[in-house]
Structure formats: C-alpha cells, structure tokens
Structure 1
Amino acid sequence: MNVLRLLMVDDHVMLAEALSARLAEVTDLWVVGHCATSDPRLSDVVRQTRPDVLTVDVEPAGAGTGRLLAQLQRIRPSTAIVVLTGVREPGQAIAAARAGVAAWVPKERSFEELTEVLLGVCRGHSWYPPDLLGPVLRELREDAVRAGERNGPLDVLSDRERDVLTRMVNGKRGAQIAEDLLISAETVRTHTRSILAKLQVHSQLEAVSLACSAGLRADDEPDLVR
C-alpha cells in the first residue's frame, strides 16, 4: 500500500496535535498537517497539502455541516473524508452522507478503530456508527423517493456492475466480491467507480441505498458456475 497523506481539521488544537503524533507512528499514514475547522485558510490548506484522507470535526459547523463537507469535496474530489467528532446528531450525519462522506467516527472510539477506518476508506470502505446508520439510510432512501425514483435506475449498469452492486447490498467488501466473481480487487474498484458515476452518487453507502430503493435484494445474488 502507498503511504496515505492525512490532513486533520479540528478546532481542538491540542487534541489534534496529540492524535497527529500517534498517527504519525502508523506505517501507512503520513500526517501532512492539521488545521482548525474555522480557519479561513482551510481551502488553501487542503489544496496545498493534497491529502488522500481528511478528518474533520463538524461540531463547530452545526447546521452548516453539509455546506462545509460539500465544499471540501469540491476542492479535492479524490480525497476520502472522515468525520471525527464528539457529536452524534443524526441531522449532521445525514448531511455528511449526502455530501459523500465515507465515514463518521465518534472521538471516543479507540485509536485502533480510527486507524482501521482511515485506511479502509481509501480502499472504498464506508463506516457509520449503528445508531446513526439507520437514520442515514432511511433519509437517503427517502431522497431517492423524492427524486421520483427514475424509471429503472439500475438499468444504466452493465451485468457485471450489477453483480458487484448486488454483493455490496449484501454487505460484502472488495476482496469478497473479487473472490465471488473470479476477478481482481482492482477490477472490483474499477466497477465500483463506474457504478457511482452512472448512478450519480458520491459513495458506496448512497449506491446501496439507491439499489435497495430500486428493489435490489439479497436473494437477487445469482449463483456463479465456478
């Protein structure tokens, strides 16, 4: 794995510095800096440091959480964003998911759990705590309903892309999907990027929610002849 560039955005400077020091000891991570959420230079810092993954505390943003996260996504679309915060507000979690945020990690989680999430999001994984995941999925499904549920929204996918999406709905990860379909993990990532683009969503979480709204279910997964 290439070393991942990590930028931490948090108004609690001492906490950010302490956590940065610990994360700097992780072999696969390179902490390129930290910045306050309210810093007017935040956009410039993101452009200059070019992070692969960015942690951000949304507590100071409040109702502006969606705008802040969407702005960060626009500045550097390839960066995986992880909310690292002490708040557990469903409305902010929903706004984060809509903005394409890959994961939401409460600050009380262990260092080991945080590290696993940071490395995982760069491999296409998503993670939200169980108490927030339910409201997030329900609201994303409602978004699909309010958008009119385009006729046959999954019809834009190729057969292989649909196979990959079905397994995502079933909770399988890249390596499991690759094994099921007898393809490489890189091919799974390529199909996943194509699925997100065709469905016009920002994350696997949104793709799964849209697929469920369109009626894709676990029993739709075909048995493959090996």
Structure 2
Amino acid sequence: MIRNIYLIDDDDAVRASLHGLLSLRSDLVVRNFRSGDQFLERVADLESGVLLLDYHMPGKNGIEVLQELGSSSPARFLTIILTGEGNIDIAVQAMKAGAFDFLEKPYKADALMEAINKAFDRMEHDSAGSAQIETARAKVAVLSPRERDVLTGLIEGRSNKIIAYDLAISPRTVEIYRANLMTKMGVRSLSEALRVAFAAGLIAT
C-alpha cells in the first residue's frame, strides 16, 4: 500500500536529509514544501497522508498551519510537529491544535520512523472504521419508515407482540416487517441486525 508523506520545512538541508531517509522505503511517496503557506495553497489537490511539519517557518508557523487544516481538511491528514529541543509549550499547543505527535530536534531516525508508522496505522484504522460506518448507514437507509420503527423496537428489546401494540398493527405484520428489514440489511439474525444498527449509530453508547 502506497502512503503519502509531506515534508514541510523551510530548511533545504533538513528537507533533503529527510527526503533521502524516507525515500529508502518503497511504500512512501514523499513530497516537499518550503513553507506552510505553499502546502496550504496545494492542499486541495493532495491525497490524504502524514505531514512532517516544522514549527518555525516564514509565513504561517506550524501551529497556524494545523489550525487552518483543522477547519478545512480535518480527516485527511495526520500531523507530526517538529520542534526545537525543549519547546514543550509549542508541543502542547500543537497537540491541542490537532497534531498526532511531535518530535524534538535533533531526533533519531528510528524515533521518526516509529512516529510515522503509528500515524499511518491510525489513519488506516480510522479509514476502515469510517467505511464500516458508511456501509451500516447505507443498509439502514434502505428501510421503510415502518421497518425502521420495528427495528427500533427490536433494539429496545421489545417482543413482536409489544411492538405490534405500540404501532397499532398485528403481530403477524410485525413479523413481515422484521423479515423484510433483515433481508434488506443483509443479515440473518437479530444479533447481526443489532451490530449493524450499532455501527450506524442507532444505538446510543
């Protein structure tokens, strides 16, 4: 799987060093930007990925870039802020602004790679979770209002007879709606239907 990583640093030597290090990995596509402003100008055209974002840069600093990203592309990027040694206040600000992690310069190559791997693992986990939620919501969306009423009754643990009474229909009609909703949702048991309902957000946590 190809992973996109974006280096944002105004220091040419730092960018060249990082690019050389990261290019050793065949699964990474590395792009360079000399400033946060340059990155933000192009961000709409970029695929999701991990940012290695320097704090001290001309124009917008790392925190300001994070804040702008948070309002425009919150789910597309995870950011690792690079700060000078001892800049704990900046690191705290970065985390509050949405950074995934931070590294103090000078950092070791293995620490950098570990942070990058954790960021990509998080992105892929979140992506899989989002896909599961969307699939579940799509399954629930095809239900008729009455089928959804019956599903709600099942979620709340009510029997067919009680659901029928609440909806002013016969128990036999409830059974038909129940069979139909399970067919539409592609499930074979009530427990499967409840799992889909939970993923779709119908069951409060």
Structure 2 counterpart of 1:53, one-letter code: V
What SS class does the counterpart of residue 122 from structure 2 fall into? coil
Q: Which letter does structure 1 place at the counterpart of 2:41?
A: D
Where does 1:48-127 land on structure 2 (aligned, <5 Å)? 48-60=45-57, 65-77=62-74, 78-124=76-122
TM-score scaled to structure 2, two decimals? 0.53
Q: Once the 2 structures are TM-superposed, how far is the Cα of residue 8 of structure 1 from its aligned partner?
A: 0.5
When Rg is computed on C-alpha atoms for both structures, the one with the higher figure is 2
CA distance in 2 between counterparts of 1:123 and 1:98 reads 21
Q: Distance in 2 between matches of 1:29 and 1:84?
A: 19
Alignment root-mean-square deviation, CA: 3.3
Distance 1:88 1:46, change over 3 A: farther
Over 3 Å counting, the alpha-carbon distance change for 1:105 and 1:62 in structure 2 is farther
Residues 21-79 of structure 1 show CA distances to partners (whole Å, capped at 9, x for unaligned) of 22011122110333324xx4331222233341011111237996533311133332220
Query: Which whole-Å CA distance do the structure 1 matches of 2:14 and 2:63 have between them?
Result: 24
Which amino acid in 2 is paired with 1:21? G
Higher relative contact order (Cα pairs below 8 Å, separated by 6+ residues): 1
Distance 2:42 2:60 in 1: 23
SS in 2 for 1:50: coil
Q: Are the equivalent residues in 2 in contact too, given 1:61–1:68 (CA < 8 A)?
A: no
Unaligned runs of 5+ in 2: 135-205
* Maintained 8 Å contact 2:91/2:102: yes
CA distance in 1, matches of 2:60, 2:38: 21
Q: Shift of residue 185 of structure 1? A: 9.2
Cα distance change of structure 1 residues 20 and 51 upon mapping to structure 2, 3 Å threshold: farther
When residues 16 and 63 of structure 1 are mapped into structure 2, their CA distance, relative to the original with a 3 A threshold, is closer
Distance 1:90 1:63, change over 3 A: farther
Number of residues of Structure 1 aligned to a counterpart in Structure 2: 130
SS of 1:26's partner is coil
SS at match of 2:110: helix
Deviation of 1:18 after TM superposition, in Å, equals 2.1
Secondary structure of the corresponding residue to residue 122 of structure 1: helix
Per the alignment, residue 175 of structure 2 pairs with none
Give the match's secondary structure for 1:68: helix
- Indicate the residue corresponding to 2:28 in structure 1: 29
Gaps of 5+ in 1: 126-173, 175-183, 191-226
- Letter aligned with residue 17 of structure 2: A
Q: TM-score, normalized by length of structure 1?
A: 0.48
**Matches of 2:104 and 2:43 in 1, distance apart?**
23
